[in-house]
Structure 1
Amino acid sequence: MTTHSPDLQWLLIKNTSSFLVRRKYAKANTFTTEPNNLTGINAWKYNGLVNKKAVGITAGPDNKGIVLRTRRKRGGTRRPAKMFSDVVMVGDRRRTFRAIRKNLGGNCYRRDLVEVSSVCFFSQVAVRKASAILASQRPRRLAKKHK
């Protein structure tokens, strides 16, 4: 985005973003399909476009592993190609989850998302999303036919 303040950017995009998903049955919540929004809720707190620190988790190349994407401190708006750093994590589930917790929870990447506990909220949400992606990548077992 541009170099305007995040508050101004949020006021401009909160009702007019092309990522918004509105449903008739969910009148209270407005959802979003932004690339760096882990929760999918359209709120300033979780928005991946306007926050200075954003986290995204997607499926890895060739549907193997995941890609952890974080916004860099430097390299900002004048170099959009270098705005994010991508870390590809391929391996077993436990090590992947530990690496996510270490990257996001160890230094608490987003201070405003810290819960009462000592674990960072963002790392918990990121681990949940990574778990869902890795579960979708596992091969399905075929049920045996009984004679």
Structure 2
Amino acid sequence: MAAERTNVSNDLIWMITRNQNAYLVRRNAGGGSQFSRDPLNLVNKHSFKYAGYANTKAVGVQATENGDVAVTTKKPSNPQQPGKNQVTVTYGPKTATRKIYKGVADKTAQNGYRADLREEAVARVSAIRRSQQPKKDAPASKARGVKAHQAAEKDE
């Protein structure tokens, strides 16, 4: 039995929901910028290309609470069941970063899924992994000039 397809196109969904949807965030600063909180939006930009809810094929990369990286994709086969059409692959905190890059790149390129999102997906993984690394302690700044001279006198 072939999978049923919906009669509604992605373009129509976008045209109807682009001005009002649950993920839309508008900011007056910066010339009236529009952002998206959609978990399947890689760059948080409000546009049709990145809107995960409007496209049958979408990719999302999120950080989890315990240091994992979760890569979510949508199955294009059953758009009429949105609760069942997401597949999430989780990479642990000890997984090599290059292995995650390869997994994300392969996921977006397989069978022509969304090769146009490959670069953004890998960049998102890179940013998440960078944010999960422990912060390096900044070296203590040395006093210079008069303050250095005063500190030297105190030590004597």
Shorter-chain-normalised TM-score: which range?
A: 0.7 to 0.9
| Identity percentage of aligned residues | 30
Report the TM-score, using the length of structure 1 for normalisation: 0.79
Q: Indicate the structure (1 or 2) with the bigger Cα radius of gyration.
A: 2
Q: What is the CA–CA distance in structure 1 between the aligned matches of 2:22 and 2:102, rounded to whole Å?
A: 34
Does the 8 Å contact 1:29/1:41 carry over to 2? no
Q: What is the CA–CA distance in structure 1 between the aligned matches of 2:83 and 2:17, rounded to whole Å?
A: 22
The reply on whether 1:77 has 2:72 as its aligned counterpart is no
Q: What is the CA–CA distance in structure 2 between the aligned matches of 1:146 and 1:31, rounded to whole Å?
A: 39
Does the 8 Å contact 1:3/1:77 carry over to 2? no
Q: Paired residue for 2:17?
A: 13
The reply on whether 1:45 has 2:71 as its aligned counterpart is no
Report the TM-score, using the length of structure 2 for normalisation: 0.75
Corresponding pairs, count: 135
Worse-superposed segment, 67-76 or 27-36: 27-36
User: Aligned AA for 2:69?
Assistant: I
RMSD value, Cα:
2.3
Q: What is the CA–CA distance in structure 2 between the aligned matches of 1:88 and 1:66, rounded to whole Å?
A: 6
SS at match of 2:87: strand
Unaligned runs of 5+ in 2: 1-5, 143-156
Does the 8 Å contact 2:59/2:71 carry over to 1? yes
Task: For residue 140 of structure 1, report the CA deviation from its aligned partner.
Answer: 1.3
Q: What is the CA–CA distance in structure 2 between the aligned matches of 1:43 and 1:55, rounded to whole Å?
A: 14
